[in-house]
Structure 1
Amino acid sequence: QLVSRVKQSGFNLTPKKVFDAPVLSQLAAVLAQLQQLHAVQPTEQAFPLLPIQHHFLNQQHGNINHWNQHISVALKQPMEPAVLSAALSQLVHHHGALRLRFSQDPQGQWQQVYQKLGAETLLWQSQAADDTAYQALTLELQQSLDITHGRLLGAALVSMADGSQRLLMCIHHLAIDGVSWRILIDDLWRLYQQGIAGQAPQLAPTPVSYADASQQFSTWWLQHQIDQNFWQQQGQPQPLDPAFYRDRETLKVTLSAAQTQQLLRDTVPALSVEVDALLLCCLQQSVAPKQNLAVYLESHGRDEQVFYGLDLSRTLGWMTSLFPVTLAAESNPQTQLQQTQSLLQQAKLYSGLDYGGSQFRASAASAAMASVTFNYLGQYHDSDFSHWCEPIAGEGFDQADSNTMLTPLVVNAEVSSGQLQLHWEYASSHFSAEQVTAIAKRYITQLERWNGQTSRAHGQADKRVLQPLNDAVATRTPVFCIHPVTGRAQAYQALAQALGGKRQVIGLQSRSFIEAGWFDHSFDEMADCYLASIKQQQAKGPYTLVGWSLGGALCQELVARLEAVGDEVEFVALLDCYVPGFEVAEDQWQSSVAQDKLRQHLGILLPGTSEPQLNQCLSLLNQNPPAQWPEVFAQWLTELNLDPHTRASAQDIMLSWAVEQHYRQLCDGYQLPRTAVQYVSFWAGEPAGRAQAMQNKLSKINTLNLQLTIATDHLGIVRAPQVMSHLVSALS
């Protein structure tokens, strides 16, 4: 999403660049060098299929033209048919994958080529009396696609009897995947808005075409040495009768919100595995606990090692990678989990594309290599498009009844609305409803069992809270800087730059900004996690800590824990440290000043929002604790007509407010620990008198070896030149 937003602003960026340039100034320099994006000119020649396309076209499907993906949404505002039709045509013209035509050569080999946009109308204008009529129209549209004539997209604007409108759009899977849909819907809405405003259509350039990606894959695969021994051990031919979509049934089971959060926050980090490894382990234990289980896995396939140097962030097309793994039966669950984790690491080294290149290029149909398909889709948050539409549940008729399912059992897992949801699709010709229900129940039981074995415990490390702010210095231990009440560590950037080449500075940031829905229960919990995370980075003392504001109090919590186990603390600096009893009244949520400040922020970010709407927002926040603000605020935003980027920015602002006010609530009744170490302390001299009063109270609890009052305020002390000079001298 970061890459996409940057590109919408006219700059080029790749995920790798984000990780290579973690400091904002470095990232800005990269953007300055890569400002110009140029649209690629599509080739007029046939070009190779990607592995997933080969696999699909070599299956024995009853209706190869009817294997689609679709969206079906209720519109929150009416759409103009002529403008929408023009936007669809412009969309197809811009994204070449939507203009592909497929044919077979004299040897029966499939090939694809771009075709020019024809005069055929892409948009149907229809009416439907009820849901039954709408479903009939959906099936008709799905059946209208034809890959040999290049009709890969169809859309319908449907007027319902109640006066509402629905938009239906289906695209043949050969031209689309899950990643592509976000690009496509965002572009469609942009083109429609430009059309309504009478503006010329303009989209961000697409620097890499689907054909470019195909050619790059072919080059990579010919040059790459695959691990034949590894892949020969994965999967096994399945002596199964084909399963057809006409026999498909579905079952949905859900893990509770509390169990889901425990799974993601506690269990997975405690086990030091990826989420999909644990989910796969539970699948093995539920489906075939005493036998090896061959499973098909999917990945998005846009692997930077394979497509090195190509910017695929705006490339539409089916790039999914499909590959088998064999989960070995193992009586010890812990051993099985670690084996699964190791297996996935090797299988996903190139996102499974090395297997795809070697296996899916066979011209003849190959036997299925797995009996189950599993796909973990990750965490899904509120749609970026909810400002103009809402999804409609129901049968989409994406596949023809005569088409074959990849495997008789397919499991799709995702975290949506804070809950792990598992969608079990099965062929009734192979499984009974009772069998699948029993398997699904065993699966949930396995997850809950893992949660029970790794229930929340203090001292659980989370490496993600560690945020390096400059380069490591091999001969010196790091300086750990603890976040203030805002939860973010970027304020230590000035210190990191000043210590560049002398000491590495590692900020500790709140888990609330790295894991959706996370809010710490207490300062004790935070300190235990931070200490365990620091010890993963630096196993033994002496330790060096710096804390500004609330970070100063957390530093003292860390010192108390280090002293308790006999670890050496070399140096601790407190920058205008938080002292209980000296809270600034205007910063507390109960203050009208704080609420007016948020109102101003929202008014600037959401121009046109009425006073009653803002009042409603503040009323909702006042009725809920800060930990629930992001969810409450997201629901409030759905009532506004906002573009995706404005909506996302508003949610980011609200998360920051929620984290800060949550920490301020945790301060209620808090007492600092007593420690033996002597602290170096710097205090903001503004407002007058406050620094001396805070020093006096803190010195009654812990020893302040050096106390300096600086002519600045609380926000300025973390980058005040006098403070930087003292710290650089002490830490160098």
Structure 2
Amino acid sequence: KLTASERDAGELEDWLDIVDGPPQNLAKRPLDPRVDIAARARSLTLDLPADVTGPLLTDVPAAFHGRANDVLLTGLALAVAQWRRHRGGRGTGVLIDLEGHGREDVVPGADVSRTVGWFTSIHPVRLDAGNVTGGAAVKTVKEQLRAVPDGGIGHGLLRYGDGEAAEELAELPPAQIAFNYLGRVAPGDDGGDWTLASEELPAGEDPAMPLTHVLEINAVTRDLPGGPVLSATWTWPGGLLAATDVRDLAEGWFTALRALVADVAAGEAGGFTPSDLLVELDQSEIDKLQTAWRQKS
């Protein structure tokens, strides 16, 4: 049985491996805390219609034995890679700060299902689908997400604790994108919808507060009378990115998500990945077995 210090040391190495990689700048300069502040933030909100959102959050994750975030983040990784290529950049990987909701089962015997209140945790994850698209990209990203230790909750404990781990993590390059999927929300009893904050500065927020990411994406699914609608709000420092560039990336994300829905609907995508199985098989072995099974059935 590992001691707490041995477990922390092992997890630190995992985080160093996750963050390690070439820089992938989205803007021509880094964030400036004196200039890139909340008062100068810009926002864009786009909605994905119900006929796409419905299967995107049900049929597509089910086809890959995964979760909604597996699909949403695959689309984002593909969109960022394409967006970068169109602007002369290289590389297919992207480092993202992923926000979670702090209820990971990391303490044996602890029941967090009835805890009340808003919990949150943020941790980095490097996603890289390589040169593949469609179902192969989903499988790759899904496994990268499953490789995050304990759902990411330990990163904050190490990063903001005492000791050498905090110092090492503080020296790493920060993620330029933050992503938070808030899940599905039904309309209130009064008929009003629960919505994300408006484009204006939220009440009580310090307008001089420095922004921490080049791009922040907050997405939520609203269950409306006509069906579920995925709504995504993109926020960025106005002096770093042009609104047209952000819109291109946002629309590229929705385009990638539409393509995944179409692939699954056509029966061209889906299947298991190594983390689904109790035996050790790599993805190519799993794909061969599934192909052979389909040919026999």
Q: Which whole-Å CA distance do the structure 1 matches of 2:145 and 2:120 have between them?
A: 17
Tell me the secondary structure at the aligned position of residue 262 of structure 2: helix
Q: Which whole-Å CA distance do the structure 1 matches of 2:230 and 2:248 have between them?
A: 18
Q: Percent identity?
A: 21
CA shift at 1:271, angstroms? 3.0
1:424–1:230 Cα change, 3 Å = same
- Report Cα offsets for 1:61-91 as digits up to 9, x if no partner: xxxxxxxxxxxxxxxxxxxxxxxxxxxxxxx
Instruction: Give the corresponding residue for 1:419.
Output: 229
Instruction: Give the corresponding residue for 1:440.
Output: 250
- Which of 5, 15, 27 does residue 231 from structure 1 map onto? 15
Q: Which letter maps to 1:285? A: L
> What are the within-5 Å matches in structure 2 for residues 416-565 of structure 1?
416-417=222-223, 418-455=228-265
1:221–1:438 Cα change, 3 Å = farther
Please tell me whether the aligned partners of residues 12 and 158 of structure 2 are also in contact (alpha carbons under 8 angstroms). Answer: no
CA shift at 1:382, angstroms? 2.4
Q: Which whole-Å CA distance do the structure 2 matches of 1:281 and 1:359 have between them?
A: 26
- Report Cα offsets for 1:247-294 as digits up to 9, x if no partner: 211111111101111212322222333211111111111123443211
Instruction: Give the corresponding residue for 2:183.
Output: 378
Does 2:241 correspond to 1:241?
no
Q: Which whole-Å CA distance do the structure 2 matches of 1:327 and 1:413 have between them?
A: 18
CA shift at 1:430, angstroms? 1.3
- Report Cα offsets for 1:352-404 as digits up to 9, x if no partner: 12222222225779365201001111111223xx3598769744234212112
> What are the within-5 Å matches in structure 2 for residues 126-205 of structure 1?
none
Instruction: Give the corresponding residue for 1:292.
Output: 93
Q: Which letter maps to 1:306? A: V
1:311–1:419 Cα change, 3 Å = closer
1:296–1:390 Cα change, 3 Å = closer
Instruction: Give the corresponding residue for 2:51.
Output: 258
1:400–1:307 Cα change, 3 Å = farther
The structure whose Rg is larger is 1
Tell me the secondary structure at the aligned position of residue 249 of structure 1: strand
> What are the within-5 Å matches in structure 2 for residues 272-287 of structure 1?
272-287=65-80
- Report Cα offsets for 1:452-482 as digits up to 9, x if no partner: 111166xx99xxxxxxxxxxxxxxxxxxxxx
Q: Which whole-Å CA distance do the structure 2 matches of 1:441 and 1:407 have between them?
A: 20
Tell me the secondary structure at the aligned position of residue 254 of structure 1: strand
Does 2:160 correspond to 1:350?
no
- Which of 312, 317, 324 does residue 124 from structure 2 map onto? 324
1:310–1:443 Cα change, 3 Å = closer
Tell me the secondary structure at the aligned position of residue 75 of structure 2: helix
Instruction: Give the corresponding residue for 1:609.
Output: none
CA shift at 1:335, angstroms? 3.4
What residue ranges of structure 2 are gaps of 5+ in the alignment? 83-90, 272-289
CA shift at 1:300, angstroms? 1.0
Instruction: Give the corresponding residue for 2:206.
Output: 400
1:272–1:431 Cα change, 3 Å = same
1:244–1:307 Cα change, 3 Å = farther
What residue ranges of structure 1 are gaps of 5+ in the alignment? 1-219, 462-535, 540-564, 567-732
Please tell me whether the aligned partners of residues 221 and 354 of structure 1 are also in contact (alpha carbons under 8 angstroms). Answer: no
Please tell me whether the aligned partners of residues 70 and 142 of structure 2 are also in contact (alpha carbons under 8 angstroms). Answer: yes
- Which of 366, 369, 383 does residue 170 from structure 2 map onto? 366
Q: Which whole-Å CA distance do the structure 2 matches of 1:227 and 1:296 have between them?
A: 17
Please tell me whether the aligned partners of residues 251 and 423 of structure 1 are also in contact (alpha carbons under 8 angstroms). Answer: yes
Aligned residues: 240
CA shift at 1:313, angstroms? 3.0
Indicate the RMSD between aligned Cα atoms, in angstroms: 3.3
CA shift at 1:336, angstroms? 2.9
- Report Cα offsets for 1:430-455 as digits up to 9, x if no partner: 11100001111111111111111111
CA shift at 1:323, angstroms? 0.6
1:429–1:366 Cα change, 3 Å = farther
Q: Which whole-Å CA distance do the structure 2 matches of 1:281 and 1:355 have between them?
A: 22
Q: Structure 1 residue runs of 4+, over 6 Å off?
A: 388-393
Q: Which whole-Å CA distance do the structure 2 matches of 1:344 and 1:391 have between them?
A: 28
